[in-house]
Amino acid sequence: MNALNKIESAQTPVLEAIGISKTFTVGARLTREGVRQLKAVNDVHLSVSRGEVVGVVGESGCGKSTLGRCLLRLTDFDAGKLLFEGQDISRMGTAELRPLRPRMQMVFQDPSASLNPRRRIGDILAEPMRVHRNARGERYDAAAIRARQEELLDLVGLSPDHLSRFPHEFSGGQRQRIGIARALVLNPSLLVADEPVSALDVSIQAQVVNLLLDLQERLGIASVFISHDLSVIRQIAGRIVVMYLGSVVEEGPTETIFADPAHPYTAALLSSVPVPRGRGRKRERVILAGDVPSPLNIQPGCSFRSRCPKAQPRCAAERPALQVTGTTTRVACHFPGE
């Protein structure tokens, strides 16, 4: 059993997203096409409890990163409701959100771009403590900042000697460890990791994933882990949300979805995952035909139908809603598992 699943989740979710949608305006008024609307996230429902890791997967451009930024209110969404620790933060202003920011943090995809190259690691880790107050509402003093810096570096497998160095003096894996340490400075209850290992070599990916697993088990943070790599998701997440063109097409426990995917898009994704010799039966490769729809021109009905080997006339006429199949999985398909 995944170590993360051993942690009991609280009944009240740390984060609950209800019908989140986000549309971007693209193009210029002087072009022939004119202004068009790109629906990056479309009516997404998602919840994360304490100690739980929810993996969000899908191909590039499906809206994973936009959803992650909406969940932390780094990007405002157009419709829906967002509850953080039972509190509605959907329309909170900057001043209202400020006291909550320490408890919701993000690990970014590119550690080189997310760390200020002009500042030493010690300053990067100290900045959140200089901006925010501790749990008692008091300012952090110099001794407390130094102790927390050293504690965090030890937590992510680095040395206190590294505090005086600049980001360019570290490897990619070490920089991502520093990014994780920065996200943990203020003891968050929610962590969103946006493809945190995609920019790293395979061997370094394993180290960072193992670090996240260890931290999750020790700290019990509610986490949303965004990735297009299903092998990584299987290792770290207890539940999976599969997205396609901004919508959730399947959601359920990781092992259930890997064993018996109900949506044809999920089955196609899983068929591309390499299976090491002696680790189980290799899936029959599913090659998707047809054109990839443009997110600027999503047709009525099922958005996956142009590539789906099971598409029928009903799929063009009626958009499938997320429905429960079995006991623990939800799927948006008129013919799930057929």
CATH number for 80? 3.40.50.300
The per-residue DSSP string of 52-117 comes to: -EEEEE-STTSSHHHHHHHHTTSS--SEEEEEETTEE-TT--HHHHGGGGGGEEEE-S-HHHHS-T
Percent of the chain whose predicted confidence (pLDDT) is above 70: 92
Cα angle, residue 184 at apex, residues 251 and 84 outer, rounded to 5°: 50
Q: 219 in a domain, yes or no? A: yes
* Containing structural domain, residue 304: 3-111+190-331
Global pTM value: 0.88
Contact 335, 318 (CB under 8 A): no
**pLDDT at residue 30 above 80?**
no
pLDDT band for 295, please (50, 70, 90 cuts).
confident
- The separation between the first and the last C-alpha atoms of the chain, rounded to the nearest angstrom, is 29
Mean pLDDT of 168-184: 92
Two structure tokens written together for 78: 């157009």
pLDDT band for 8, please (50, 70, 90 cuts).
very low
CA quadruple 39, 333, 305, 225: dihedral, nearest 10: 50
Q: 196 in a domain, yes or no? A: yes
Per-residue pLDDT tens digits for 79-90: 999 999 999 999
Burial label for 320, CB within 10 Å (0-12, 13-18, 19+), is buried
For residue 44, the cross-strand partners are: 20
CA 46 distance to own-chain centroid: 11
Mean pLDDT of 61-83: 94
Q: 264 in a domain, yes or no? A: yes
pLDDT band for 11, please (50, 70, 90 cuts).
low
Q: 66 in a domain, yes or no? A: yes
Per-residue pLDDT tens digits for 153-174: 998 989 999 999 999 999 988 9
Spatial distance between the Cα atoms of 197 and 176, rounded to a whole number of angstroms:
8
In 3D, which of 129, 185, 116 has the Cα closest to residue 155?
Answer: 185
Q: 93 in a domain, yes or no? A: yes
Amino acid (1-letter code) at residue 77: F
Task: Domain count for the chain, please give it.
Answer: 1
Q: 126 in a domain, yes or no? A: no
Determine the pLDDT at residue 60.
87
Q: 184 in a domain, yes or no? A: no
Determine the pLDDT at residue 33.
65
CA 245 distance to own-chain centroid: 16
pLDDT band for 281, please (50, 70, 90 cuts).
low
Spatial distance between the Cα atoms of 174 and 199, rounded to a whole number of angstroms:
12
Quick one: DSSP state of residue 237? -
pLDDT band for 150, please (50, 70, 90 cuts).
very high
**pLDDT at residue 277 above 70?**
no
Determine the pLDDT at residue 134.
82
pLDDT band for 18, please (50, 70, 90 cuts).
very high
Spatial distance between the Cα atoms of 308 and 290, rounded to a whole number of angstroms:
8
Q: Report the chain's mean pLDDT, rounded to a whole number.
A: 87
Contact 190, 222 (CB under 8 A): yes
Two structure tokens written together for 136: 């008692």
